[in-house]
Structure 1
Amino acid sequence: MNSITLKPKLIELHRLTEFILNKLPSENIHVILIVEEIFVNIVHYSKAEFITVNAEYSNSTITIEFIDNGIEFNPLLKEDPNLPTNIDEAKVGGLGIFLTKKMADELDYHYINDKNHLKIIKKVE
Structure 2
Amino acid sequence: MNSITLKPELTELYVLNEFILNELPEENLQVNFIVEEIFVNIVHYSNTEFITVNVEYENPSLILEFIDNGIEFNPLLKENPDLPDSIDDAQIGGLGIFLTKEIADELDYHYINGENHLKIIKKVE
**TM-score, length basis structure 2:** 0.98
Amino acid at match of 2:18: E
Report 1:1-125 matches (<5 A): 1-125=1-125
CA RMSD of aligned residues (A): 0.5
SS at match of 2:55: strand
Partner deviation per Cα, 1:87-117 (whole Å, 9 max, x = no partner): 2321100010001000000000000000000
SS at match of 1:44: helix
Runs (5+) with no aligned partner, structure 1: none
- Matched positions, count: 125
Work out the percentage of aligned pairs sharing the same amino acid. 75
Runs (5+) with no aligned partner, structure 2: none
- Show structure 1 runs of 4+ deviating over 4 A: none
